[in-house]
Chain A
Amino acid sequence: MANITEALSLLTEMDTELLQIIGVTLRMSFFSTLISCLTGIPSGVLLGKSSFKGKRTIKKLTGTLMGLPPVVAGLIVYMLFTKHGPLGSLGMLFTVEVMVVAQCMLIIPVVINLTESVVRINASRLSETAKGLGMGKAKTALLILSENKHSLLSVVLTAFGRSVAEVGAVSLVGGNIQWKTRVMTTAIMLETNKGNFSFALALGVILLIISFAVNIIAAMLVKEDKQ
């Protein structure tokens, strides 16, 4: 209880550093979610509605990648962007951009897999309807998307949740640098390492409040769309 009070007082105090950390967290999670969904949902729809050779292999592959430990994803991205690595000349290590790259590696397989399992249920029925109405391929895909929009919203929220809660990859490639790449999870890890356990817990409560707000906004958006 004391932790919740501390969290609320932190929020109302509008501590500049805390606001800055929340800002970086939202920026990172927004772009990770956006990129993962823009690539993952179309791929998932394609995988769910059509049958082609190698489909099962792809499904197994994305299923396997869903279990990729965040630290391993972080390590791979780190090795790519390190000074002497293949992309080292870009000088992008320890930036928010490279944190987004690492997160996309983790989240895209999740989005593809979840989208596929959502779409699979009614894709063939919808495709037939679309065919009967003489719709093209693009319109069929749009129909499938809009018919499944509630389920797909939870796919998007899952992607966001995974992004906002992730710590292993972002601390490795982001470096948890104050004022630059520190996000809520790495700040929590830092406070834990400092021995400020109750402050760390208060930060955790704030992270939950943020997630709660995002969920409410998302639910509202879909509802408005319905009317």
Chain B
Amino acid sequence: MKKLLAVLISLMLIFTLAACGGNTDDDGTKTPENPVIRMSTTTSVNDSGLLPYLLPAFEAATGYSVEVQSAGTGAAIQKAKDGNADLILVHAKASEEEFIAEGYGVERIPFMYNYFVVVGPEADPAAIKDSESAAAAFAKIADAEAPFVSRGDDSGTHKAELKIWGEAVPDSAEDDWYISAGQGMGACLTMASEKAAYCLTDKATFLSNKADLDLDIILAEGEDMKNTYSLIECNPEKLEGVNTEGAKALIEWMTGDEASALIAKYGEEEYGSPLFYLIEE
């Protein structure tokens, strides 16, 4: 018993020391005055692994440390409005413009995009494969009453889906085939796989989860399926305690050459094509 206790205590000590070690990096970079940047972002850029891939390079170059909070676009923006972020990275144009109009944000900087894709069972029961647009595909799904999983959570993806449905969005309890899950992208894809249903998803999240899913990309790259990501610096005049310098530094870096090169390469090796594209100025 005593021996076990000794082993446990020494393990704890080792872990504590290892954790402390992380703080003492002396690589010569100057530490900024306020070194913590709080970024509020959507699940898709974080869960697809993009930020964990990009940010270490930024942190090493500048000495900042970035705290990423990821949630649906609605919550991501609300957190920033409550003064809990220095900048946001989201993908819902209407909400972004509202955020700026209300004085919370400084400027909307669209900097990268990718495409939403419609995924579904390989058999494609509603025969949407050669549809011209997502809207046409959705109409076929509704006609066939084929199961469809919706995010239903006010996220950027959900808003894009609602825009595609337009007037025809199914919203009554009788529409049995339309499953409004109210969960994150990963959970919705899992549900679509379980129920052999269609789902609108960003390509990055789908590809990074594909191995565990019985789903394929059925429709890709329609005109109405473009998905633009923007950076917005929180307005220090409206919100207290915003790390403006940090936010500016991160935005400058994210739109600069080094990050651009990294983003353009991201996913190429693993999936054969990049997951995000840069917006050319």
Could you tell me which A residues sit within 8 Å of B by CB distance?
A: 20, 82-83, 93-94, 171, 175-180, 182, 186-187, 190, 192-197
Q: A36 CB to closest chain B CB, in angstroms? A: 26
Q: Is B160 an interface residue (CB 8 A)?
A: no
Q: Which of A82, A182, A187, A194 contacts B72 (CB 8 A)?
A: A194
Q: Assess whether B77 is interfacial by the CB under 8 Å rule.
A: yes
Interface size on B, residues (CB 8 A): 26
Are A195 and B194 in touch, CB under 8 angstroms?
no
What residue of chain A has the Cβ atom nearest to residue B191's Cβ? A175
Answer whether residue B153 sits at the interface, using C-beta atoms and an 8 A cutoff: yes
A195 touches B181 (CB 8 A): no
In the bound complex, what is the Cα–Cα distance between A93 and B180 (angstroms)?
A: 15
Beta-carbon contacts under 8 Å, B174-204 to A:
179-184, 187, 191, 193-195
What is the total of A-B residue contacts with beta carbons within 8 Å?
A: 65
Contacting pair B194 A178 (CB below 8 A): no
A195/B77 in contact, CB under 8 A: yes
Contact with A along B55-72 (1 / 0, CB 8 A): 000000000000000011
Instruction: Assess whether B221 is interfacial by the CB under 8 Å rule.
Output: no
- Asked if A193 and B71 sit within 8 Å, CB to CB, the answer is yes
Beyond A176-B181, A177-B181, A195-B78: 15 further Cβ-contacts under 8 Å? A83-B194, A83-B214, A94-B191, A171-B183, A175-B191, A177-B179, A178-B182, A179-B180, A182-B182, A187-B182, A190-B182, A193-B74, A193-B75, A194-B75, A197-B78
Q: Report, nearest first, the 10 A-B pairs whose CB atoms are least far apart.
A: A195-B78, A178-B180, A195-B74, A194-B154, A190-B182, A194-B74, A195-B75, A179-B173, A176-B182, A193-B72
Most buried by B among A82, A93, A176, A187: A176
Which one of A82, A180, A186 contacts B194 once the chains associate, using CB atoms below 8 Å? A82
CB-based nearest A residue for B81:
A195
Whether B182 pairs with A195 at a CB distance below 8 angstroms is no
CA gap between A54 and B41 in the complex, in Å: 53
**Bound-complex Cα distance A176 to B180 (A):** 8
A182 vs B152: C-alpha distance in the bound complex, in angstroms?
Answer: 12
CB neighbours (8 Å) of A93 from chain B are 194
Main secondary structure, interface of A, reads: loop
B108 interfacial by beta-carbon distance below 8 Å: no
Set of chain B residues within 8 Å of A176, measured between Cβ atoms: 181-183
A196 near B182 with CB under 8 A, answer no
B153 x A94 contact (CB < 8 A): no
Chain A residues whose C-beta falls within 8 Å of the C-beta of B194 in the assembled complex: 82-83, 93-94
Cα-based distance from A83 to B213 in the complex (angstroms): 11
**Most B C-beta atoms less than 10 A away, residue of A93, A187, A190, A193:** A193
Chain A: CB-nearest residue to B79: A195
**Min C-beta distance of B49 to chain A, whole Å:** 21
The answer to whether A175 touches B181, judged by C-beta atoms less than 8 angstroms apart, is yes
Within 8 A of A (CB), among B135-149: none
Chain B residues contacting A197 (CB-CB under 8 Å) are: 78, 82
Q: What are 14 sample pairs from A and B whose C-beta atoms fall under 8 A apart?
A: A82-B194, A83-B194, A94-B194, A177-B182, A178-B179, A179-B173, A182-B182, A190-B153, A192-B75, A193-B71, A194-B75, A195-B76, A195-B77, A196-B74
Q: Which B residues lie within 8 Å of A192 (CB)?
A: 75
- A18: min CB distance to chain B, Å: 13
Contact with A along B64-105 (1 / 0, CB 8 A): 000000011011111100100000000000000000000000
Enumerate chain B residues within 8 angstroms of A179, measured Cβ to Cβ: 173, 180
Note all chain B residues with C-beta closer than 8 A to A182. Answer: 182
Residues on A with C-beta less than 8 A from B74 are: 193-196
Chain A minimum-CB-distance residue to B180: A178
The answer to whether B154 and A195 touch across the interface, beta carbons within 8 angstroms, is yes
Chain A residues near B71 (CB-CB < 8 A): 193, 195
Chain B 190-228 interface mask (CB, 8 Å, partner A; 1/0): 010111000000000000000000100000000000000
A187: B residues at CB distance < 8 A: 182
Q: Whole-angstrom distance from the CB of B28 to the nearest CB of chain A? A: 41
Query: How far apart are the CA atoms of A82 and B179 in the complex, in Å?
Result: 17
A82 / chain B contacts, CB cutoff of 8 Å: 194
**Alpha-carbon distance A187/B72, docked complex (angstroms):** 15
Instruction: Provide the residues of chain A in CB contact with B79, threshold 8 Å.
Output: 195
